[in-house]
Amino acid sequence: MNTKEWNLIDKLISKYRLSVAAKYIEKDDIVLDLGCGVQHYLLTCGKNKFKSGYGLDYDVEGCQKENITLVKHRCQGNLPLENSFFDKVFLLASLEHFEEKDVPELFSEFYRVLKKGGRVIITTPTPRAKPVLEFLALKLKVVTAEEVTSHKHYYLAEEIRNLAEKNGLRMVKTRYFQLGLNCLYILEK
């Protein structure tokens, strides 16, 4: 997602979110960071933990360096990725930016690209985060307004569970963090 204009508070929030999710990377994993942003923090910070990492985002320039491959893609429809290829798919602070009509197909693609036993790790703000984020962005102007105003939907755990189950995935963990304003979901194929 468009993370070019992040300020210090955005970076601190992102760093904490990354620390919550990155601990699920294991040695020899092949990981996908969907909506990795121009900074592709997960891939950059985790490059010594995984075997290879792929980042998809409409805002990156396609390139390959070391064990990281970046692909410019809008992350809609069929993803330009092999079947049963990834051990982990990460979607960090990105799901809320997708049009709701595109999300079921996205979950179907998770199932397609994951190996058996593979996991999807999602972080997304909860519905109770909406007024807080809007206040911080639009009134106090301490987080980037463009990021917050581009949120399409704030997901409940039950919505994530339903999307997972309809697409052959099972929710194995739900963990709230940042005072309940964000949630980590782990889905398994």
**CA gyration radius, the chain:** 15
Is residue 49 pLDDT above 80, yes or no?
yes
What's the mean pLDDT in 127-146? 93
Q: Which residues contact 68 (CB under 8 A, 6 or more apart)?
A: 40, 43, 44, 47, 52, 53, 54, 55
Is residue 2 pLDDT above 50, yes or no?
no
Is residue 1 pLDDT above 60, yes or no?
no
Is residue 184 within a helix (H) or strand (E), and if so which, with residue range? strand 182-188
Which residue type, as a one-letter code, is found at position 140? L
What's the mean pLDDT in 62-71? 90
Is residue 52 pLDDT above 60, yes or no?
yes
Longest dimension (CA), the chain: 46
Please count the residues of the chain: 189
Which residue type, as a one-letter code, is found at position 26? E
Q: Which of 126, 147, 125 is nearest to 137 (CA)?
A: 147
- Select the more confidently predicted residue: 2 or 179: 179
Q: How does DSSP classify residue 171? A: E
Is the separation of the CB atoms in 59 and 38 below 8 Å? yes
Helix (H, G, I), strand (E, B) or coil at 30: strand
Residue the block writes with tokens 């933990």: 49
What mean pLDDT is reported for the chain? Answer: 92
Q: What is the band of 103 on the pLDDT scale with cuts at 50, 70, 90? A: very high
Is residue 7 pLDDT above 80, yes or no?
no
